[in-house]
Amino acid sequence: MRANEAKEITVGEMVVEEPGRARVFERFGIDYCCGGKIPLAEACVKRGVDIDAVLESLHKIEADASSEFEEDWSQASMTALVDHIVATHHSYLREEFPRLTKMTERVALVHGERHPELPEVRDVFAALRNELESHMHKEEQVLFPMIKQIEANAADAAGHCGTIENPIRMMEQEHDSAGDALGTLRSLTGGFAPPADACNTYHVMLDSLAKLEADLHLHIHKENNILFPRAIIAEVHVI
């Protein structure tokens, strides 16, 4: 990709075209999920990173034939993508939430006096967990069944809310909120970097939060940039 092309194609579209690019964006702290609707050049300015360095990394990973790329979900059925999101990303969050809740509470209790940001880390994570648990329930009980109905050409697929754009808009707003919470956690922890006096649990907590951030970015990307736009277009042809 040339620099002039980076001024036109959005970050989200770039990851849709080649999922392996997500690894580069994660490394540079470029938001390709909630903030994926802006061109790469603008995203680099916003993040304060050198676009030439980003493009070089993109070229390198794309030239590496041995790279393990994420499956191209833009070519899968919407039903397959929905099932993948639930089985992979929703299941991951439900497994990690109790574990990370215990760790954020313990680390705040043990290290909070020397690191006063840790109680806020605990509280921000707790709020994120509560919001995402509700969010996933709404997706699995309302939005995802509607999408499957649309793909099956069910005439009453939009009967719940009048149009699928309404629940999608709500889910995207909640994605933005989750993205803000992740940004707060990253800022509070200095990029999930452990301090010199961090114990093993402290190290594991930060590493787990970083992995959760990366997985949630990919999760939101698949919904915001692949699943939701396709569902909106497909509904037009159903109703």
Residue keyed to tokens 């509560």: 130
Q: Is the pLDDT of residue 16 over 60?
A: yes
Q: How far apart are CA 75 and CA 73, in angstroms?
A: 5
CB atoms within 10 A of CB 48: 8
Residue 100 has a pLDDT of 95
pLDDT of residue 27: 86
The domains found in the chain, sorted by start residue, are: 5-63 (1.10.3910), 75-238 (no CATH)
SS3 label, residue 97? helix
Full-model pTM: 0.77
Dist CA 238 CA 176 (whole Å):
29
Q: Considering Cα of 77, then 82, then 84, then 89, what sign does the dihedral take? A: positive
Is residue 159 packed enough to be buried (19+ CB in 10 Å), middle (13-18) or exposed (0-12)? exposed
What is the chain's mean pLDDT, rounded? 88
Q: In this predicted structure, what is the pLDDT of residue 4?
A: 66
- Supply the pLDDT for residue 175: 97
